[in-house]
Chain A
Amino acid sequence: MQRIGVFVCWCGSNIAGTVDVKAVAEALRSEPGVVFSTDYQYMCSQAGQEIIKEAIKEHKLTGVVVCSCSPRMHEATFRKTAQAAGLNPYMVEIANIREQCSWIHKDMETGTQKAIILGRAAVAKVNLNAPLIPGQTPVTKRALVIGGGIAGIQTALDIAEAGFPVDIVEKKPTIGGKMAQIDKTFPTLDCAACILTPKMVDVAQNENIRIFSYSEVQEVKGFVGNFNVKIKKKARFVKEDVCTGCGICTEKCPQKKVPNEFNLGMDNRRAVYIPFAQAVPKVATIDADYCTMLKTGKCGLCAKVCTAGAIDYTQKDEIIEEQYGAIVAATGFNPISLDKFDEYAYNQSKDVITSLEFERLTNAAGPTAGKLLRPSDGKHPHTIVFVQCVGSRCAACADKGKEYCSKICCMYTAKHAMLTRDKYPDTDVYVFYIDVRTPGKNFDEFYRRAVEEYGVHYIKGMVGKVSPQGDKLMVQASDLLANKQLHIEADLVVLAAAIEPDKSARSIATMLTASMDTNDFFTEAHPKLRPVESPTAGVFLSGTCQGPKDIPETVSQASAAAAKVIGLLAKDKLTSNPCVAHADELMCNGCSSCANVCPYGAISYIDKEFRMPNRTTAIRRVASVNPAVCQGCGACTVACPSGAMDLNGFESAQIIAEVDAICR
C-alpha cells in the first residue's frame, strides 16, 4: 500500500476563488492510501515546495498528489521537489484543478466538487504508480544538414563553429540554393551573391564541414543521438577531387541545347556544366540525360580537353553510410507551377514571367547580363505589370494554388518595381495587390519609398485576365478604390507566384518520421515555444521547409536550429523519457498493428524462443520497443488487439483506476 500525501494549491485566488481548497484537502484525506493532506497559497513557491519535502520525510510518503495548475506548467517543478526529498520523481501526479476546473467554473460548489473528483482520480493513479528510471543513450557527435541553401549553410556553419563535424547533403551540383539565383535583397538592396558566396566559401573551407553535393538522403534509421543515414552520391562523371573547375570542358562540349535550370530555362547550357561561376564545390557535372558520350558512346571531347584528367564516364552512383546525432531539415521551397492559371497566360506568352525569372533577367550573371529585356523579342519593356498573390491566399483552388500567404512576395515585388523605376525611369510600373503586407524591420518604409520616391503605381485590385495581342499583353484588371475596370497594354507581366515546400520534403519527412502539415511544411514541436524542433526527437527545422520566410528570418531560424543541435551534441549521454511503451511478450501475437500505427518507427520485431508445454520450445515473433525512439504517445497501446502493449507511467490499469475514481 502506498503512503500518499495530497497538496492542494490555492494559486492565490486563481484556484481558491472558485474552489474551496480546504474542503478538497479534507475530502481527499479519507481516500485510500492517503496519509497526509494539506493546502497552501502557492505550492510552487520555495515555501510550498518545503512543505512537500518535509511531509515526504515526516510521513514517509511513497507517493505525492499535487492539486494545482496544468502539469505542463509545474509537473517538472514538483517532480524535482520530490526527488530532492528522496522520492522517485515518477511517483508524483498532478491533478489539474486550475485550467480544467477553477478557470472554467463560476460556481464554488460545482468547482469544489469537480476538484475533489480530479484529486480522487490522481490518488487512484498514484496507488498504482511504480518508480521509473530513465535510461541513457550515447550521442554521435556529428550532424547532418539536408539542403544546402542559405538555411542549411547557416546551420552548418554555426554547428561547425561550435566544434562539431557537419555534413551537408545537397541534391544539386552546388550549394547556394534559391538565394544564389536572386539579384538583390530587400530592404537594403545589397547584392545577394555578394553576401552569399563568401558564406559558401566559408563552408567549403571549414574543416568541420563536408559537402555531399549532387547527393540525396536515401534512408534514415535509428533515433535521436544515433541516426544511421544512407546518402546516395549521384554519379557526376567527373572526379570531384581531381577537377580544378577551370571550365574548359563546359566551353568545348558540343551539346549546346540543354535548358539551363539555374536561369530557369531562359537560356541554354552545355551537357557538362558548372551551374554558376561561384559554385561550391567548383566542379563540373555531366548531365547524363544530354551527354552524347554517355548516350551513344561517341564524343568524349570533354575528356580530351580536360588537362587534369577528371572526366570519368564509368562513374557509378555511390552509397555512403554515416552516423549522426542530429538531423536538420533545410529542404527549402520552390515557386508553384502556374500551368493551371490560364487567365494569366503564363504558358501562352514568353513575356509573362514569374518573379524568380525576373530576378534572373535583372541579374548581371543572368541570360541578359542584367539588362531588363523581354524574353520574346529582346526589346526593352516600357509598361510592366506586377501581379501579387498569384496562387497565394487561394482557398478555392486547392488543385492549383495555396491557401496561405507566401509572405515574401509583397516585399520582393516592391523591390522589383523600385529597381525597375530606378534603372529605367522611362518605364511605367503597375503593381496589383490585394493587401500590401510589410511587417518587418524597415519593410513598410521600403514599400512607401517605391510609391513615393520611385512613382510605382500601386493599384488595389486583382488582374482578371492577361491576353497576348500582337507583341503586347492586354491586362484586364480592377481598380477597386476607383470602382473601375482597367485595360492596360503591357510589355511584360510579372507574376508573384506562391511558394511551396520542395517536392523532396515529403519523402524526407517520411524517412525522418517527422510530421508535416497539409501543405507539406514541416510541423514544429510547438508553434511558439519550440519553433525549430520537429516533434520527432533529434530532428530540427531550418528555413522555409517549416513555413514561408524571407532571408533574415531564415538565417535567424537556421542559427536557432544550430543552437538546438549544439545543445544536443554537447551531451555525452541522453536521458530518455521512461514513460515509454513495452510489450508483454507472452500476450503479443506479432500482428504488426502497433508498428503500423507508431509515428516514430520505434517498434521492431524479434524472433524469440519461448518455453512451451512438455519441455518444448517455440520461436515466436514478438514486438520490441526501442525506448530511445519511443515518445510515449500511446498509439500502440490502443491499436494492440491482444492488450500486450502498455505504456510505463500510463498503464491501462492506471487509466482505468482513474476512470473508476471519477465515476465512483
Chain B
Amino acid sequence: MHNKNDNVRSEIIRRSGVNPVKCMRCGKCTATCPAFDTMEYHPHQFVYMVESGDIEPLMNSNSLYQCLTCFACVDRCPRGVEPAKLVEAVRLEVIRKQGANHMKPDSIPAMVEEDLPQQAIVSALRKYHK
C-alpha cells in the first residue's frame, strides 16, 4: 500500500515535519475547516492520502490553493498532526516542480491595502512563495 510514490511521500513528510500515522481519524480538522465547501479534498483526507502514498490526486487538485492556511486544523487537532503543514508541503512539491516563485517578498508593499488583514499576506506568502 505504501510503495506508491514512496519518494514523494517521504519528501513531503520530511519537509512538513508531520507524522500522518499519529492521526486517529477523528475529523476535527475537517469539522473546523472554514474552506470546507470549496475544497475537493478535505484536511482529514489530505492526511490519509499522504499516509497511504496517494499523492498524485492531491497535487492535481485545486484544493491546494483553496486552503486558507488559517491553521485552525493545526490548532484543534488533538493528536498534533498539523494537517495544514501537510497541505503546504504538497503545494511546495507542485510549485517547486514548476520552478518559479509566484510571489516575491519585494512585491508585497505594493499589494498592501489598509483593510487587508495581515494574515492574508502571510498566508499568501506561505502559499505562493518558493
Contact = CB atoms under 8 A, between A and B. Distances in A.
A395 to B, nearest CB: 5
Contact of B26 (A343, A389, A479): A389
Contacts of B72: 464
B52 interface: no
A395 B78 CA distance: 6
Nearest to A461: B27
Interface string B12-31: 00000000001011111111
A478 B79 contact: no
B78 A485 contact: no
B123 interface: no
Given A462-B31, A464-B76, A476-B32, A393 B44 contact: no
A77 to B, nearest CB: 45
B36 interface: yes
A501 to B, nearest CB: 20
B22 A343 contact: no
Given A480-B44, A485-B37, A396 B28 contact: no
A461 B76 CA distance: 13
B78 A394 contact: yes
21 contacts: A343-B76, A393-B24, A396-B78, A396-B79, A396-B80, A397-B78, A434-B26, A434-B27, A461-B26, A461-B30, A462-B26, A463-B28, A464-B28, A464-B31, A465-B32, A477-B31, A478-B28, A479-B27, A480-B27, A480-B44, A483-B42
B27 A389 contact: no
B66 interface: no
Contacts of A461: 26-27, 30-31
Contacts of B28: 462-464, 478
Nearest to B30: A478
A464 B27 CA distance: 8
Interface string B82-117: 000000000000000000000000000000000000
Nearest to A481: B27
Interface string A463-484: 1110000000000111110010
A394 B44 CA distance: 17
Given A465-B32, A485-B33, A485-B37, A393 B78 contact: yes
B125 to A, nearest CB: 26
Interface in A273-309: none
Given A395-B78, A396-B80, A434 B25 contact: yes
Interface string A95-139: 000000000000000000000000000000000000000000000
A395 B77 CA distance: 9
B30 A480 contact: yes
Contacts of A397: 78
Contacts of B37: 485
A459 to B, nearest CB: 9
Contacts of B29: 464
A464 to B, nearest CB: 3
Interface of B: 22, 24-33, 36-37, 42, 44-45, 72, 76-81
Contacts of B78: 389, 393-397, 401
Nearest to A433: B26
Nearest to B74: A396
Contacts of A476: 31-32
Nearest to A391: B78
Contacts of A407: none
Among A395, A397, A476, A478, chain B packs the most CB atoms within 10 A around the CB of A478
A397 B79 CA distance: 8
A460 interface: yes
A40 to B, nearest CB: 50
B80 A395 contact: yes
Nearest to A462: B28
B45 to A, nearest CB: 7
A401 B31 CA distance: 19
Interface in A62-89: none
Given A478-B44, A483-B42, A485-B37, A464 B77 contact: no
The 9 closest A-B pairs by CB, nearest first: A464-B31, A396-B80, A464-B32, A462-B28, A478-B31, A478-B27, A461-B27, A478-B30, A434-B26
Contacts of B36: 485
Nearest to B72: A464
Contacts of B31: 461-465, 476-478, 485
Contacts of A477: 31
Among B31, B72, B81, chain A packs the most CB atoms within 10 A around the CB of B31
A110 to B, nearest CB: 37
Interface in A336-384: 343
Interface in A376-423: 389, 393-397, 401
Among A476, A477, A485, chain B packs the most CB atoms within 10 A around the CB of A485
